[in-house]
Amino acid sequence: MGGQLRAGGAGTTRDTLLAAAYAVIRRDGFKGASLDDILAGAGLTKGALYHHFSSKQALGYAVLAEIIEPYVLDFWLSPLALCDDPIDCMHSVIGQACEEIDGEELALGCPLNNLAQEMSPVDEVFRTGIDRIYRLWREGIADALRTGMRKGHVRADIDADRAATFIVAAVEGSIGLAKNAQDPEILRHCCAGLAQFLDGLRQGDRPMPVEGRG
């Protein structure tokens, strides 16, 4: 494809469209995102959009696969590949998430969860693409937990797949709750609960006592 010609340089028109679409979709949802808004944000016109994408659906699928998927997997999984103790690692990733998500970012929620709740009942392609990301996310955590078991950091009597699934669910639920409350305090409380659950997975049985009441 002609795309190869400029694969080296960043900032193709296609990338501009994806970025603008990502921003509007995140704010207004997929159905609520108007193409005119996206195009205004990208500084382009209908002709450009329909040259690169056959439909609004196709644009949305590309945003999911090329923007959201790498972002989520990179943020949550790549630290796990480098760390020694997966529980320590997840603690720090969650802490980082709590810090980064503030102000306007907080009110927008998780782009993956937003799409999932809106589109999965009505669009099978979206649902499949989102399911793929969730599966990779869960498998990445489960693999890290199993590695941690072999190294003696994680209790061996737990089911890594189930724990990973619950961790993902709790993360998404926490962000979603804080998004609606528009209150970073809520997010921190949830992160504390999640941290408590993570500590329950540590080798050495006895969970860490919860930090004193605020």
Partner DNA sequence: ACTGACGGGACAACCCGTTTCT
Partner DNA sequence: AGAAACGGGTTGTCCCGTCAGT
Question: What is the contact surface with DNA in residues (CB under 7 A)?
Answer: 1-3, 13-14, 33-37, 43-48, 50-52, 54-57
Cα angle value 132/26/190 (rounded, 5°) = 75
CA distance 199 to 197: 5
Beta bridge partners of 202: 154
| 61 φ, ψ (degrees, to nearest 5) | -60, -40
Rounded to whole angstroms, how far apart are CA atoms 106 and 186?
11
Tell me which of a second copy, DNA, none is bound by residue 203, counting a contact when its beta carbon lies within the kind-specific cut-off of 5 to 8 angstroms. none
Tell me, rounded to whole angstroms, the distance of Cα 108 from its chain centroid: 12
Q: Which does 176 bind (CB under 5 to 8 A by kind): a second copy, DNA, none?
A: a second copy
- Does residue 168 contact residue 137 with C-beta atoms inside 8 Å? yes
Taking contact as CB under 8 A, which single stretch among the options 15-23, 61-69, 144-152, 184-192 is the one that binds a second copy? 184-192
Nearer to DNA, 43 or 204 (CB): 43
Residues within the interface to a second copy (CB under 8 A) = 27-29, 31-32, 107-109, 113-114, 116-118, 120-122, 127, 130-131, 134, 157-159, 161-163, 165-174, 176-177, 179-182, 186, 189-190, 192-194, 196-197, 200, 205-207, 209-210, 212-214
